[in-house]
Amino acid sequence: MASFLVNGQPARSVDAADRGLMYGDGVFRTMVVRGGRPLNWARHYRLLARDCACLELPCPGESLLLEEIARVAPEASVAKVTLTRGASGRGYAWPVDFEPTRIVAAWPGVPDFPDEAGRGVRVRRCDVALAIQPRLAGVKSLNRLESVLARAEWRDPAVREGLLADSGGRLVEGTTSNVFLATGGTLVTPALDRCGVAGSQRERVLELARAEGIACEVRDAGFEEFERCDEAFLTNSVIGLWPVAAFGERRWEPGPLARRLQRLIEEDDARGA
């Protein structure tokens, strides 16, 4: 069972007039917690603060969030921080003196994916195309209907992720993950300046790779390039890094960059970064 703190108090519910519910007026981030401490915290917090700034929401202080995460997730858990603009009357205009809602939730246990991380996963392409909205690009907002519709396109458990294009046909991300390709030793991940969610694990992989001297490009990429690449992988904070093993008829063996970055992520986690 999940545990929740709402504005610091144990609770199972939020105000029915919360703007998070009425309009998706808020943001969230999901993280793995071990020993009461979120992994990859610095990047989670940086992106949460950036997302808050995009919506003109105040971001709570780091120490308050860390204290509440440790309180609700004392053991190994998956934790989620949700920040909304709080309850208001009807109408899109937010009150000058709005009182944000802060939800810190934890699900006990950290899922383990030895097969997916080891042998890699099958992915498909989703029919839903992501709408282009630069004002919200990269932001992990509570407006996630496109992801919900995309994830509803398949129930085959052998397909572990769906890849999304934007309305211009460019490869953007998975429904719950970011995507990387590598060709000739250069790592490419789609630019997220039109749509998509910038995951904390994506930021970390880019930083770790650059620190190792691996060439990284953040730019537009198409499905043709994806199908031709030497290796591809998916990242998010809970799955870590999954090599892509199959897409339609195309097959890949997990490649050297995926293996190297999996090791670097593990080391980074062990350092408590």
Residue among 204, 156, 152 at smallest CA distance from 178: 204
| Alpha-carbon torsion, ordered 205, 224, 121, 206, to 10 deg | 0
* CA 4 from centre of chain: 20
Q: Among residues 59 and 181, whose Cβ is nearest to a copy of itself? A: 59
Q: Which residues, 175 to 214, sit near a copy of itself by CB under 8 A?
A: 175-176, 195
Contacting residue, 32, 72, 81, 105, with a copy of itself by CB under 8 A: 105
For residue 137, report the phi and psi dihedrals to the nearest 5 degrees: -60, 135
Contacting residue, 56, 97, 112, 249, with a copy of itself by CB under 8 A: 56
Q: Please choose, out of 6-14, 31-39, 221-229, 262-270, the segment that lies near a copy of itself by the rule CB under 8 A.
A: 6-14
For residues 185 and 22, what is the distance between their CA atoms, to the nearest angstrom?
A: 46
For residues 267 and 272, what is the distance between their CA atoms, to the nearest angstrom?
A: 9
Q: Please choose, out of 84-92, 182-190, 219-227, 261-269, the segment that lies near a copy of itself by the rule CB under 8 A.
A: 84-92
Q: Among residues 64 and 148, whose Cβ is nearest to a copy of itself? A: 148
110 lies in the binding site for a copy of itself (CB under 8 A): no
Residue among 201, 232, 268 at smallest CA distance from 120: 232
Q: Which two tokens stand for residue 4?
A: 């929740």
Q: Which residues, 20 to 39, sit near a copy of itself by CB under 8 A?
A: 20-25, 28, 30
270 lies in the binding site for a copy of itself (CB under 8 A): no
23-51 exposure pattern, b = at least 16 Cβ within 10 A, e = fewer: bebbbbbbbbbeebebbbbebbbebbeeb
2 lies in the binding site for a copy of itself (CB under 8 A): yes
List residues binding a copy of itself (CB under 8 A).
2, 4, 6, 11-25, 28, 30, 55-56, 78, 80, 82, 84, 89-94, 103, 105, 107, 128-129, 131-133, 135-136, 141-152, 167, 175-176, 195
